[in-house]
Amino acid sequence: MKGKFDIDVVADSTITKRRVQRATMPDYAKMKKPDVKLVILGDMNVGKTSLLHRYTERKFKDTISTVGGAFFLKQWGPYNISIWDTAGREQFHGLGSLYCRGAAAVILTYDVTNWQSLAELEDRFLSLTDTANSDCIFAIVGNKADLTDPRALVEEEGEEEKEVVPQLSSSPTGPPKFRKQVLREDAMAFYSRILRYKLLDEATSLPAESMCFETSAKTGYNVDLLFETLFNMVLPSILKKESQSCSPTVDLEECREVKRTKAGCCT
């Protein structure tokens, strides 16, 4: 940082001819470049931020409405995977295409207790994925399963504070209060419609059963499964990209060792 302000300013009192143009900015713009991108889409409040948070921080905490977008870099084997959390608010809708551009996987998230949230995916969010890679993988995720499905109440990890487990009977967040509005079959039907929208052959695409998840960011139910299934599915896409960009010039910046044997193992 300090170096940046030490840029030699040639002009002292007279302006010399040596300087052609503004010194180009230091290359801070270059960051560790992710190998592959995952984008989480879905209406506001379905729990996108909570899902990402649960996966990365292993806990569930109060989120504030996401502004614009945020992302997280995950080291998966030798690869860097960026996961983008987007804002569901209508206001930020226009940014969706930008986020989805070049995505290898899109996680379309809805709230199992809210039929509208699934409808929104189809109406508003699906078209944003037009900019994603042609071989982009789609996952349909019904979050907040803890509200409707007793199975999702089982904590995935012991570290979570006990209090967040809703009591089946008395808790205001317990199942009696919430009806499951979206069944897994609905999500699977939606998945088929996505394939049709993308003009993909159902027979050669990933099957709906393995691409429709029901999760709970609150208890962690299926959260690791979701992300790690997708990570493994996008690996071929990374390898493809690598072989394509296999240029004769050596990129000195890219001094990463690719240990292919490690691919597929986590953390």
Partner 1 sequence: MSVKAFELVPAVERDLLMGDKARINIECIECCGKHLYVGTNDCFVHHFLLEERTTPKGKLAFCAQKLLHKCLGLKKPVNELKAASALERLIVLCDSTVTVVDMVNLEAVSSGGARIKGVASFCVNENPVNGDPFCVELGVIATKRRTVQIYMVYEDRVQLVKEVSTPEQPCAVCLDGYFLCLALSTQYMILNYNTGASQDLFPYDSEEKKPIVKRIGREEFLLAAPGGLGMFATADGVSQRAPVNWSESVIGAAVCFPYVVALDEGFVTVHSMLDQQLKQTLSFRDGHILQDFEGKVVLASTKAVYVLVPLPLERQIQDLLAGHRVEEALTLAEGARRNIPKDKFQIMHRRILQQAGFIQFGQLQFLEAKEHFRKGQLDVRELISLYPLLLPSSSSFTRCHPPLHEFADLNHLAQGDQEKVRRCKLFLVSYLREARSTEVANGCREDVDTALLKLYAEADHESLLDLLASENACLLADSAPWLEKHHKYFALGLLYRYNGQDDAALQLWVKVVNGDLQDSTRSDLYEYVVDFLSFCPNLDLVWKYAEWALQKDQKVGVQIFTRRTVSDDQAGQMNPDSIIKYLHKYQQATLLYLEHLVLERRVQKEKLHTHLAVLYLDRVLGLLSQSPSPAQEVAEAREQLQKLLKESNLYRVQLLLGKLQDTELLLERATLHGKLEEHDKALHILVHQLKDFPAAEGYCLWASASRDEEHRRRLFHLLLGVYLDPDAPGDERTVAAVDLLNRHAGAFDAAQVLRLLPEGWSLQLLRPFLSGALRGAMHARRTSQVALGLARAENLLLKHDRLKYRGGPVFVSEKKGCQLCHNTFTEPDCVCLPGGVPVHTHCAAQRARDSPRKRPSANPSNHT
Ligand X SMILES: Nc1nc2c(ncn2[C@@H]2O[C@H](COP(=O)(O)OP(=O)(O)O)[C@@H](O)[C@H]2O)c(=O)[nH]1
The footprint of partner 1 (CB under 8 A) covers 1-5, 7, 9-13, 15-31, 33-34, 37, 67-71, 87, 89, 91-92, 94-95, 97-99, 101-102, 131
CB of 146 to ligand X, least distance (A): 5
Longest dimension (CA), the chain: 82
Find the part of the chain contacting ligand X (CB under 6 A) among 62-70, 94-102, 133-141, 252-260: 62-70
Q: How far is CA 97 from CA 41, 121, 232, 234, in A?
A: 11, 14, 24, 20
Cα(63)–Cα(71) distance, rounded to whole angstroms? Answer: 15
If DSSP codes are grouped into helix, strand and coil, which group holds residue 125? helix
Q: Which is nearer to ligand X, 103 or 107 (CB)?
A: 107
The span from the CA of 133 to the CA of 235, in Å, is 14
Q: Which alpha helices (H) appear in the chain, and where do they start and end?
A: 2-5, 48-57, 96-100, 115-120, 184-197, 208-211, 223-244
**For ligand X, which residue of 35, 120, 146, 214 counts as binding (CB under 6 A)?**
146
Residue 239's binding partner out of Mg ion, partner 1, ligand X, none, with CB under 5 to 8 Å set by partner kind: none
Site for ligand X contains 142 (CB under 6 A) = no
Question: Is the separation of the CB atoms in 38 and 69 below 8 Å?
Answer: no
Interior/surface letters 142-178, b for 16+ CB within 10 angstroms, e for the rest: bbbbbbbbeebbebbeeebeeeebbeeeeeeebbeeb
Q: Given the rule CB under 6 A, which of 13-21, 43-51, 224-232, 257-265 is the region that contacts ligand X? A: 43-51
In angstroms, rounded to a whole number, what is the distance separating the alpha carbons of residues 50 and 62? 8
Q: Is 34 in the site for ligand X (CB under 6 A)?
A: no
3-class secondary-structure state, position 115: helix
Give the footprint of ligand X on residues 214-233 (CB under 6 A): 216-218
Residues 80-139 that bind ligand X (CB under 6 A): 88
**88 vs 166, which CB is nearer to Mg ion?**
88
Handedness of CA 213, 214, 217, 223 (dihedral sign): negative
- Closer to partner 1 at the Cβ: 4 or 162? 4
When the beta carbons of 59 and 180 are compared against partner 1, the nearer one is 59
Binding ligand X (rule: CB under 6 A), the pick from 34, 35, 41, 50 is 50
Q: Which of 36, 39, 41, 46 binds ligand X (CB under 6 A)?
A: 46
What CA–CA distance (Å, rounded) separates 107 from 34? 18
Kindly tell me which residue out of 37, 51, 53, 66 binds Mg ion, with binding defined by CB under 5 A.
66
Q: Which of 49, 129, 148, 222 binds ligand X (CB under 6 A)?
A: 49
Q: Verify binding: residue 47, ligand X, rule CB under 6 A.
A: yes
Interface residues with ligand X (CB under 6 A)?
Answer: 42, 44-50, 63, 65-66, 88, 143-144, 146-147, 173, 216-218
